[in-house]
Structures are given as structure tokens and as C-alpha cells.
Amino acid sequence: MLSLGIGWTGMMGALGGTGVGALRFMFPNVTYEPPTIFKIGTPGEYGAGVDNRLKKERQIWVVRNERGLYVMVAICRHLGCTPNWFGDQQLFRCPCHGSIYDTMGNVVGGPAPRTLWRAGVSLDTVDGQIVVNFTQRQDPDPKGTPEGLMVEDSVREVSPFFIPLA
């Protein structure tokens, strides 16, 4: 009876160990994906207004207003398409279902249920470059108004989603 118990325990242990090993095998320690935290140069490289140049490479817009600088994620909050920037209208328009956002990320038209995400930003203390954390997302609850879904600038322009600049 003891040997039977040892046998069953050993077999279950071996099976369990194999199962755990096989499961752990499916989670690699390194993934070869684009970095989610990256540097995009110093604030001086970005003038007033929306900068469209990093949309393709990093899927972000860098925006500078009179108070400072923030980074918006170029993912439509309706179904995840990439909106386009129209400088003449000062609007972001999504080509998929027509969601429209203003330069603050407020929804001014279309089916999008929430405002654009803003990504976490900070200044590197060594070289002064802007460090973007793409997975750190600011997502405040918007207020429904006749103009669209709005969020106060004072709610949005807080650390770590805003870099105040003189």
C-alpha cells in the first residue's frame, strides 16, 4: 500500500511538473516588440500646436500649448483605428467611422465614447529628453455637453501626463 502511494505520488508529481513546465514555457522572458517607454527628443524640438511626425513610428502626437507639452495616443477610442490630423481644421478625424477630436483630445463628433488617451511623460534628468510611457494612459471621465464629450484642462494637465513649460 505504501509503495502504491509512492508510485501514485511520483506519477502525479511528474505529470504536474510537466504541466507547470509546459505552461511556463509559453511565457517568454523577452519579447521582441517595439519599446513601450521611449525618448522623443527635447521639448525645444516641438513648436506650438500638434506635431504629427511621430504618428507612424510611435503612434503618438506631441502637442504643445501656452502652458506646456503633452503626448496623445493615436488610437481612436471608438474601435481602435488611427485617426488623421487635419491642420487646416485643427481636428483629428478617424477614417473608419468618423469620430472627430479637437487638439485637447475632446470628442467633438462621431461615435467615440471617450476622449483620446494621453500618455505618461517625464523629462530625463540626464539629457533633458522627453520620456514617453506608452502604456501609462490618462483616461478621465468626460462630461457630455452640446459641443461634445469634454474634459477640463485643469483635470488633464497634471503630472505625469503634462510637462509645464514657461
Partner 1 sequence: MKKWFEDIQKIIVETQIWKSVFRHGYPDTDANRALVMFSNVILHLHPVRVRRGALKIRFTWCLGGLTFFFFIMLSITGVFLMFYYVPDTRRAYNDIKDLGTVIYFGDLFRNMHRWSAHAMVLSVWLHMTRVFFTGSYKPPREFNWVVGVLLLVITLVLSWTGYLLPWDQLALWAVTVGSKMAEATPVIGNAGPFGPEMGFTVQNDIAFVLLGGTVVGQSTLLRFYVLHCLALPLVAALFMAIHFWRIRKDGFSGPL
Which residue, among 109, 87, 105, 85, has the nearest Cα to 97 in the 3D structure?
A: 109
Rounded distance between C-alpha atoms, residue 131 and residue 41, angstroms: 8
The residue among 21 and 44 lying less far from partner 1, judged by its C-beta, is 21
At its nearest, how many Å lie between partner 1 and the CB of residue 26?
Answer: 7
Per-residue mark of binding to partner 1, 75-114 (x: CB under 8 A): ----------------------------------------
Instruction: DSSP for 33-77, please give it.
Output: S--SEEE---GGG--SEEE-TTHHHHSEEEEE-SSEEEEEE---T
The residue among 25 and 144 lying less far from partner 1, judged by its C-beta, is 25
Site membership for partner 1, residue 135 (CB under 8 A): no
Based on DSSP, count helices (H) and strands (E) in the chain, helices before strands.
Answer: 3, 13
Residue numbers 22-61 binding partner 1 by CB under 8 A: 22, 24-30
Site membership for partner 1, residue 21 (CB under 8 A): yes
- Size of residue set near partner 1 by CB under 8 A: 9
Site membership for partner 1, residue 126 (CB under 8 A): no
- The H-assigned helical ranges of 2-44 are 2-25
Binding site for partner 1 (CB under 8 A): 21-22, 24-30
